[in-house]
Amino acid sequence: MVTLWFVLLGALFAGYFALAGADYGTALLLRTAPPGRRREVLAATGPFFLGNEVWLVAAVGVMFGAFPRLEGELLSALYPVLVLVLAALVAFTAAVQLRSRLGDGGKAGWDALIFGGAAVVALGWGVFLGALLAGLPLDAAGHRTGSIFSPVVVLSAPAFTALVAAHGAVFLRWRSTVDVRRLVVPLTRLAAGLVALVVVAAVVLVDGVEPLVALPGAAAVIGLVLAGGVLRPALAAACTAAACGLPVLVIGAARWPVALASTGDPAGALTVAEGAAGPATLSVLVWFAALVVPLVLAFQGMCWWAYRDRRPVFW
C-alpha cells in the first residue's frame, strides 16, 4: 500500500511538471515576442492553464494525507525555497489572469511579473529537485543543519529552467502562430547539455545514487535533441513534456526506499515507509484517490479534447 501511494505521488508530481512546464516555458519566452503578439503566446497554454495546476494541488493533497511526516520534514528543510515558489506561483497566476482584464495600460508591468514569476518558479523547482537528488544536511533528529546547496543543486536550478524553456519553445511551435523556430534548437541543446551535467554530477558526486540513473537521463537528453530538430511538433512536445516529468521518477527510483536522504547524520534519513501514514489511514485514503484521480484525468482529457485545434484561443 505504501509503495502504491508513493508511485501515485510521483506520478502526480511528474504530470504537474510535464504539463505546467509548458506554462512556465512559454512565459519565459513571452518577452521574445513583439508586444502586440504576446497575447498569442499566453493563449497557447490558456485553455489548459488552470487544469495543469490541478496536478500540483492533487500531489500536495496526497502528500499531506498519505505522507504527513515526509511533508513535515520537506517543509522544515526546504521552507525558504517552497515559500518563494509559492509566492512566485501566486504572482505568476494572478498576472496571467489579470493581464487581459485591466485594459492596455500597464501590460509591460504584467509581462515582467509573468516572466519573473515563471523564472522564480522554474529555478525554485530546480533547487527542490536537486536537493532531493543530492540529499539534505540533516542531523539525527531530521533537522537541517547546513546549506542545501551543493554542485548538483547549483546545476539543477538552471537545468530545470532551461528544460521548461525548451518545452515552452517546442509547445509554441506546435500550438501557436508565433514564430519561435529560431529558439527551439538552441534551447533544446542547452537543456540537453545541462541535464547531462546534472546526471553526471549526481552519479560521480552523490553517495547512494546508482549509475543506472544515467539511463533515463540519457533518454531525456536524446528526446530533447530529437525534439529540437527532427520530430514533428506534436511528438516533439510530447518528448519535452516527458523530459520535464522524468526528474521526479529518476529521483524516486535513484533513492528508493529512501524518501529524504541525509548528507549529514545517516540517522536523519527518512524512508518511504517511515514518512507514510498508518495502514488504516492509507486504506481510507484509497477512496479519496478513487474519486480525485479519475476527476483530474477526466478534466485534463476534456480540456485537451475541447481545444484539440492548434489555433490559439485569445483570452
pTM reported for the whole predicted model: 0.92
Please tell me the distance from the alpha carbon of residue 30 to that of residue 35, in angstroms, as a whole number: 9
pLDDT digits (tens, 9 = 90+) for 37-47: 888 888 888 88
Please tell me the distance from the alpha carbon of residue 26 to that of residue 74, in angstroms, as a whole number: 29
Residues 6+ apart with CB under 8 A from 194: 155, 158, 159, 162, 163
Please tell me the distance from the alpha carbon of residue 197 to that of residue 284, in angstroms, as a whole number: 42
136 by DSSP, 3-state: which?
strand
pLDDT digits (tens, 9 = 90+) for 159-173: 999 999 999 999 999
CATH number of the domain at 2-306, out of 1.10.3720.10, 2.40.50.100, 3.40.50.620, 1.20.1630.10? 1.20.1630.10
Dihedral sign (CA 183, 188, 191, 196):
negative
Q: Is the peptide bond before 257 cis (omega within 30 degrees of 0)?
A: yes
Helices and strands, number each (H, E), in the chain: 12, 2
- For cell 497575447, name the residue: 39
Weakly modelled stretches of the chain, pLDDT under 70: 102-106, 230, 310-315
